[in-house]
Amino acid sequence: MKPLAKSSVSKQLWSAAALLLLSAVLVGCPKQSTGTTSGDNCIDEFADGSPKAPVSTVVLCRAEYISVYDPARKVPLLVAEKLQPAEFDGSVSRADNFQQDPDLAESQSAGLNDYRKSGYARGHMAPAADFTSTDEAMNQSFYLSNMVPQDSGMNSGIWASLESATRSCAKQLGSVYVMTGPIFEGKPKTIGSDQVAVPSSIYKIVVHGNAARAFLMPNRKLPPARSNFTRYEVTVNEVQRATGLTFFPGGNVNLQAHASFCGGSYGS
């Protein structure tokens, strides 16, 4: 066999070293995506494959949820959970430890000061009450990568009631998949020096089997739901059109029909 030339050996060694360095970088970093999200170690939080986004995103895998994050708007485009009673029937108390996500660069993240005196609450997309099983899950729910600027009255009123109804539904069925996120119309208003985008509406999609219930509420104080959320119910397809997201790329979830599961939780 003819020996390799020195230049060829050098090229091979350089390529191997570069590959090792790249692998080391990827192991410790959140996944970045242009248009398509992926979550490897928490892919089971998605009901039907990794959602697709129309913009570049950073995918942040957490103990019990995954955030598909938009570093330009400084908010998640969607936060996904496989919600099970074991996650919210624990004894861990609410932490209120709001903090920047440690896996985001400073330039990608909202800051605590952005929300102060803004008139908006730091609105959880995956609510803290879903994560009372471990301290880790509770603390991670307070990362700003799980927040959007939300009207305070909506946050503590009808939206909190919808979150509670969804936990009730998960308890009834054993588990459900949930996706929650913002909708923006036109050029959004922003808050703070980091220009965190304020959504015009917020959606929640709940999936059981191949059926889905989708709820869409304007980001303002709304009358109490009195345990009936059907006036805010839409189809998944309507939410997809409003967000530009493809929630279920596997094609196994009905996008058109209003599902009827958990009528006692949602009002019908």
Q: Is the pLDDT score of 38 beyond 50?
A: no
Give domain status of residue 32, yes or no. yes
User: At residue 193, what is the residue type?
Assistant: S
The three-state DSSP-derived secondary structure of 110-153 is CCHHHHCCCCEEEEECCCHHHCCCCHHHHHHCCEHHHEEEEEHH
Tell the residue number behind the tokens 């009002």, with chain if given: 267
Residue 40 has pLDDT above 60, yes or no: no
Residue 5 lies in a domain: no
Does residue 77 carry a pLDDT above 50? Answer: yes
Report the pLDDT averaged over residues 191-218: 98
Banded pLDDT at 70 (limits 50, 70, 90): very high
Residues in contact with 153: Cβ distance below 8 Å, sequence separation at least 6, in sequence order = 220, 221, 222
The mean pLDDT of 51-80, rounded to a whole number, is 96
The percentage of residues in the chain with a pLDDT greater than 70, rounded to a whole number, is 84
Confirm whether 3 is domain-assigned.
no
Catalytic site positions: 124
- What is the Rg, in whole angstroms, of the alpha carbon atoms belonging to the chain? 21
Question: Which domain CATH number covers 39?
Answer: 3.40.570.10
Tokens coding 215: 């709820």
Residue 193 lies in a domain: yes
Average confidence score pLDDT of the chain = 87
Mean pLDDT across 137-155: 97
Q: Print the domain residue range for 175.
A: 10-266
pLDDT score at 224: 86
Q: Is 103 among the domain residues?
A: yes
More confident residue, 170 or 33: 170
Number of domains in the chain: 1
Residue 6: CB partners within 8 Å, gap ≥ 6? none
| Tokens of residue 137, six digits | 């899950």
Residue 183 — pLDDT band, cuts 50, 70, 90? very high
pLDDT tens-digit map of 108-140: 999 999 999 999 999 999 999 999 999 999 999
pLDDT greater than 90 at residue 225: no
State the sign of the Cα–Cα–Cα–Cα dihedral 198, 181, 163, 255.
positive
Q: Is 155 helix (H, G, I), strand (E, B) or coil?
A: helix
Is 96:107 a contact under the CB 8 Å cutoff? no
Which tokens go with 38? 């992926």
Q: Is 1 a domain residue?
A: no
**Range with lowest mean pLDDT among 14-23, 93-102, 220-229:** 14-23
